[in-house]
Amino acid sequence: MPALSLIRAAFGVSLIVRPQLAAGALHAPLDRRAAWLARALGARHVLQAALIGGERWRRAGAAIDGLHATSMLALAALDQGHRRACLTNAGTAAALALASLVSSR
């Protein structure tokens, strides 16, 4: 398994098992909705890590991460209470998208 997939899988598992750790690191509120969303995002990361194989899949994963980053920027504009978490999440998704694109070459 490529290093990027291992990092993504570990990140995903940490969000599923202990979403409050990510929230604590961001000093963000973790209500029930935010915890559920963090776990759903973690599951997506684990699934994406398991599915990424060839170049085509890494590019598809980069597109998914790009869409996720865009959605987090939109949510940051709408939800002031979770803005910091959304912006950090957007940055993480953008970094993963870039890493996926670079690794597909």
Reported as a single tens digit per residue, the pLDDT across 22-64 is 767 666 667 888 889 889 999 999 998 888 766 678 888 889 9
Q: What pLDDT is attached to residue 55? A: 67
* The pLDDT value given to residue 25: 67
Query: Taking all residues of the chain, what is their mean pLDDT, rounded to a whole number?
Result: 85
Whether 73 and 23 have beta carbons less than 8 Å apart is answered as: no
Global pTM value: 0.80
The reported pLDDT for the residue numbered 26 is 66
pLDDT digits (tens, 9 = 90+) for 71-88: 999 999 998 888 888 898
Could you write out the DSSP letters of every residue in the chain?
--HHHHHHHHHHHHHHH-HHHHHHHHT----HHHHHHHHHHHHHHHHHHHH--SHHHHHHHHHHHHHHHHHHHHHHHH-GGGHHHHHHHHHHHHHHHHHHHHHT-
